[in-house]
Structure 1
Amino acid sequence: MANTTAADVKKLRELTGAGMMDCKKALDEAEGNVDKAVELLRIKGQKGVAKREGRDASNGAVVSLLEGGNSGVLVELNCETDFVAKGGRFVEVANALAAHVAATSPADLDAALASEIQPGKTVQQFVDEANAGLGEKIVFRRFAQFTGGAYVAAYMHRTDPDLPPAIGVLVELDQENAEIAKDVAQHIAAFAPKFLSREDIPAEALDAERRIAEATAREEGKPEAALPRIVEGRVTGFVKENSVLEQAFAKDSKKTVQKVLDEAGVKLVRFARFRVGA
């Protein structure tokens, strides 16, 4: 049996992200051959991929990649535990996916998973290898990409200083303004709007809110004559809560986000907000 050193184990861990004891066993079985040990870990890891399919991957990281000031990518990669989420190998995988999306601009997640990230290797296979190496269910959950805009910026928020960012926001403005972009992105991170403006809220969502508001008002015994006013008031409240432009601005609640943008002479074109597991 080969004499496995701590340096050999460290090197194998860096290459695969596998646990220390798994690396030690693989090196022993491979008689000290690192390349063969990598193969053994991949084989053993892949056997466990199917078993992990049903597990909950609610931890993870959000990463961003900005290019040239007018393009940006946001990626969410999930895993099972915060222990894996804060590991260097996991974050490397997330960053590699962000770089791949930036370079290839896939149409959607299915297209991204089917595309080649390395010669002869799809993104799905790449993620499966991470699954095998890290010993947990790893899921490329979603991505957002803004390209060709006037100015694109990102804000990343850590909910725990020991973990990678759990909330990421990508914003596109119609002109460069780093301060406003940061302020608005931070606001979006904190207040989680679902839509850009009232016009972006689907009609069916507003109709559903009206039905709920009317039924609730009747349950509360409100007068029939007052129902239209009450219903529209509650729908307006729903719009203000869910449309970023109509929300009260985080740094000055006397102003809406729209007012802050107007005063700065810029327009928020679009945004994306990811929160790990949400």
Structure 2
Amino acid sequence: MATTAADIKKLRETTGAGMLDCKKALDESGGDLAAAQEFLRVKGLKGVTKREGRTASNGLVTAHVDGGTGTLVEVNCETDFVAKGERFGELAQRVLDQAVAVGAADAEQLLSSDLDGKTVQQVLDEANASLGEKIEVRRVARLEGDQVVSYLHRTSPDLPPQIGAIVAVSGERAAEVGRDVAMHAAAMSPTFLSRDEVSEEVVANERRLAEETAREEGRPEQAMPKIVEGRVNGYFKDNVLLEQAFAKEAKKTVGTYAKEAGVEITGFARFRVGATA
């Protein structure tokens, strides 16, 4: 039976595989769609190891919140074509549901958990096979508090959310303030909640860099302590959520905004697809 363009299109929509791969699968299976899908699956599984070294820098961030518990998951693929496809979206939702069900706090725990008789990693390997791309769960965060609020942001209207944040808050206006802070975190990419979370090693390194830079600039020795302290404080203002200038009202810090609203921020997590932090 001759392979038609309609058959190739249907197989591609079903499997997410490339056009040439779909044509070859149909040719090998005599035009039988079910056999062609099996061919692609086998062909794909054989290629999983080869794909391990490839970069999966596209994908999506997805979140689930239930009262005082929030889960944030980053699922990656290689191309935006797959990222915006229905099958990838369904897979990401299945992975998120599993993360919620097992209370996963990191990717390792999620990947090793049992999902319908297979580990999540095995489910991803099968997705690698059918979609023809490296698919991976890169990061997972679980947050608990009096109330958790989430925000997902699309960097492009034709792509799924690429940035996500969850924030744990308490207080009468927790939902409103939490939403504002989650949106702020998504936009301003803080690394720490408070300066207490910044390790002594990081602070010492920032002091060293600040002093070296000041000396390179020829700053006077007597002014060095004040200059170094100012630049270290600048690091905190750039990277600590509570000390960042609030995106909606730059004259206030995030911490001040929350305090004035009678809300305490107790934790947060933020992912951007493909980012290292």
8 Å CA contact 1:106–1:112 kept in 2: the answer is yes
Could you tell me how far apart the structure 1 residues matched to 2:8 and 2:133 are?
A: 23
Residue in 1 that maps onto 2:79: 81
Q: Does 1:197 align with 2:190?
A: no
1:13 Cα deviation after fit: 4.7
Structure 1 residue runs of 5 or longer lacking an equivalent are none
Q: What are the Cα deviations for residues 10-43 of structure 1, in whole angstroms up to 9, with x where unaligned?
A: 3x55553334554454355445655443322210
Residue in 1 that maps onto 2:110: 112
Q: 2:158 aligns with which of 162, 167, 181?
A: 162
Could you tell me how far apart the structure 2 residues matched to 1:139 and 1:109 are?
A: 10
Q: What are the Cα deviations for residues 36-71 of structure 1, in whole angstroms up to 9, with x where unaligned?
A: 43322210111221222222211111111222x222
Aligned length: 274
CA gap of 1:208–1:30, structure 2 versus 1, over 3 A, is same
Q: Which moved more, 1:19-28 or 1:105-114?
A: 19-28
8 Å CA contact 1:27–1:33 kept in 2: the answer is yes
Q: What does residue range 15-54 of structure 1 map to in structure 2 within 5 Å?
A: 15-19=14-18, 22-23=21-22, 25-27=24-26, 29-31=28-30, 34-54=33-53
Q: What are the Cα deviations for residues 182-225 of structure 1, in whole angstroms up to 9, with x where unaligned?
A: 11111111111100011111111001001111111111111111
Q: Does 1:125 align with 2:116?
A: no
1:241 Cα deviation after fit: 1.0
8 Å CA contact 1:241–1:247 kept in 2: the answer is yes
Residue in 2 that maps onto 1:56: 55
8 Å CA contact 1:4–1:27 kept in 2: the answer is no
What TM-score do you get using the length of structure 1 for normalisation?
0.90
Structure 2 residue runs of 5 or longer lacking an equivalent are none
What TM-score do you get using the length of structure 2 for normalisation?
0.91
- Give the % identical residues: 58
8 Å CA contact 1:14–1:89 kept in 2: the answer is no
Residue in 2 that maps onto 1:183: 180
Q: What are the Cα deviations for residues 139-186 of structure 1, in whole angstroms up to 9, with x where unaligned?
A: 211111124x21111111111111111100111112462221111111
What code does the residue aligned with 2:151 have?
Answer: Y
Q: 1:91 aligns with which of 89, 92, 105?
A: 89
Could you tell me how far apart the structure 2 residues matched to 1:3 and 1:192 are?
A: 50
